[in-house]
Chains A and B, each alone.
Chain A
Amino acid sequence: MSAALAASIPPTTPESLVLSCREVRVGFRQREVVRGVNLELGAGEWLGVIGPNGAGKSTLLRSIVGLTDYSGTIDLGGGHRPSAADVALVPQSPVMPTGMTVAEYVLLGRTAHLGWLARESKFDRQVVSSVLHRLDLADFADRFVSTLSGGEAQQVVVARALAQQCPVLLLDEPTSALDVGHQVSVLELVDDLRRAEGLSVLAAMHDLSAAARFADRLILIDHGQIVAQGGPADVLRPDLLSTVYGTPLTVQSIDGELVVLPASRRRAQPPRSPARNPRDTTGALRPRPRHDSRS
């Protein structure tokens, strides 16, 4: 861990690009879920992908890790397609097998590095050990992953992704199952690691305020296409968000940080078209028609 790396985030220049997507399209049975996405991820950058459920965020991430077929190019530079040695995924709802210890679970991150005989080396164990120490999980090493709380489990999943020793970390709505305290602590952990280790982060995020706080740049996706991108202040505009999410939203600046809130319904709002995606990020419990654009 070099202090020099921690000090600054390199600017996004063509030389420091770590990942680029060109015209990426993913279709399931004639229906395109990702429709021609272009994006670039710079070294040390945190790029947030936001958008309503079913917009294609997860599918985009899955295509980058090679979990779905796609057309277009996904490139790590020099025509090199990403593999598990380059890109580590923190899945949305990770499987926690019964009877597997934390150390064994983190060791799974070394799968891509294992040799022909599939036997882990001393170095693999060292990596696991130092990752566990780095995340203060050493005392958890022989706990079973199935007995961990949600926040602890998510830390262990991040640890597994780190053990992959990839320059790019993909987060698929990593905190959607956590309470607000653990959401922040997991995202802060990732942010610290990014600064200290020079990782690049591409994260699909539900919580728009968290996205504003942690991401350097945001990409807003709707119906499989990028509808806005740029710095958080450029993308998080009330009119844009209200249209995309299909519910009135306001954006406020509190102590210099952008906070996205549902607008009060009592205020006069233009009537919403019923064909619009009636989704929001707040999970507000009110009856509404369902228009699932994807399963």
Chain B
Amino acid sequence: MAEASLPPAVMAEPDADPMPVRRAFGMSAGAVVIGVAVLVSVGLLSAASGAAGLPVGGVFGALFDWLPLVGIESSLSAAQESILFEIRLPRLVLGMLVGGSLGVAGASYQGVFRNPLADPYLLGVSAGAGFGAVLALGFGLDLSWGPFDTVPAAAFLGALVAVVASMAIARGGGASPATLLLGGVAMAALFSAAQTYAIQQLSETRAREVLSWLFGQLNTTGWKQVALLLPYAAVCGAVLFVHRRHLDVLRVGDDEARSLGLNPARSRLVVIGAASLLTAAAVSVSGLIAFVGLVVPHVVRLLVSHSYRVIVPLSALAGGAFLAFVDIGARTLLAPSELPVGVITAFVGAPFFALVLWRDRWSAT
């Protein structure tokens, strides 16, 4: 066992009472259970609400019937079932995926930059994606590539170009977080300027179309968008999950982290790479949805724990639940027309931002 390979200075006392310590590690299974429960309830709520007015009992029956090993006779008609499975469910799942992706990416960025105000768009992802989308939507470039349509492909490429450029300015992951952050600010400014200029050259209808993309929305055509985002969410999400403890080690600063056996530059590079790729993929299918990546990790931090072991996984659950919940409003508040979901997240997010700032001020005094 592990004991056999220990260095000479062994401290282990197996008889030591582990209770007070166990309590202090604080990754409560309860928080995960609550998170999953919230996610599932939001999912059911979202599936049951919408313009078509499906019967709630029928929706639940059909959903449970959909699960493997469960056989329930659904009361929905074939048309209603197709609304549920071809329209509502893809959108619900996309909302959860995008929200979860932004939540995890935001948590990772906050950890890597040791900055509570960091969000997934910090290194210019949003400006880059926006510029790419403006070019594609406004000027009719054809960038469709493989499964990607033109706009997602352009947004994805723009986002990656901006992040890579930010990191190149700061000379890679070895740079200090502050340098990286400033590189991101510079790139974001550059791409925003290019984007503004490009929008100005467009006709009014085209410009409106571009602006509505920029606000962020969850438009689905069947399961296509979900299929695009899912591989990125799975792979990048797994990478970030594995690195969640590295983020905790980074909290004591690069020097101490290195003396504890971590390579801070490498961890930072991996985490930023995975989080940026995830954000770029999310943005390419949903546009720029504001504040989810900033707000969600803070909620988890305030409610559960400051440890990234907890924040990273719970931000996925909470982000998914939050965006799916907010999207119910986007679909129903102005029915039959739709609000861009990014507008609602910002409405909820901005006051929350203020709250976090006030809280900081209170705890500082």
Contacts and interface: CB of A to CB of B under 8 A. Distances in A.
Contacts of B17: 129, 133, 138
Nearest to B305: A99
Contacts of A66: 258-259
Contact of A141 (B10, B23, B307): B23
B31 to A, nearest CB: 15
Given A83-B261, A127-B11, A130-B11, A91 B255 contact: yes
B249 interface: yes
Contact of A108 (B26, B252, B301): B252
Nearest to B250: A97
Contact of A133 (B16, B253, B261): B16
Contacts of A88: 259
Contact of B24 (A103, A116, A197): A103
B6 interface: yes
A101 B16 contact: no
Contacts of A138: 17, 20-21
A103 B7 contact: no
Interface in A238-287: none
Contacts of A120: 245
A111 interface: yes
A97 B116 CA distance: 12
B91 interface: no
A112 B9 contact: no
A126 B18 contact: yes
A95 B13 contact: no
B21 A163 contact: no
Size category of the A interface is 35 or more
A102 B25 CA distance: 9
B331 interface: no
B88 interface: no
A112 B13 contact: no
Q: Which of B3, B10, B24, B251 has the most CB of A within 10 A?
A: B24
Contacts of B245: 111, 114, 118-120
A142 B307 contact: no
A167 B251 contact: no
Contacts of B1: 123
B14 interface: yes
B20 A100 contact: no
A199 B26 CA distance: 31
Contact of B16 (A67, A123, A129): A129
A21 interface: no
Contacts of A133: 13, 16-17
Contact of B260 (A84, A99, A101, A116): A84
B313 to A, nearest CB: 12
B259 A118 contact: no
A129 B17 CA distance: 8
B244 interface: yes
B79 interface: no
Contacts of B9: 162, 165-167, 197-199
Interface of A: 62, 65-67, 83-86, 88-89, 91, 94-95, 97-104, 107-109, 111-112, 114, 116-121, 123, 125-134, 138-139, 141-142, 162-167, 197-199
Interface of B: 1-3, 6-14, 16-18, 20-26, 242-246, 248-249, 251-253, 255-262, 301, 305-307
Given A111-B249, A127-B12, 16 more contacts: A67-B255, A85-B7, A95-B253, A101-B25, A118-B244, A123-B2, A126-B18, A129-B22, A133-B16, A142-B26, A162-B9, A165-B9, A165-B10, A166-B7, A197-B9, A198-B8
9 contacts: A95-B253, A103-B25, A104-B24, A108-B260, A125-B21, A133-B13, A134-B11, A138-B17, A142-B24
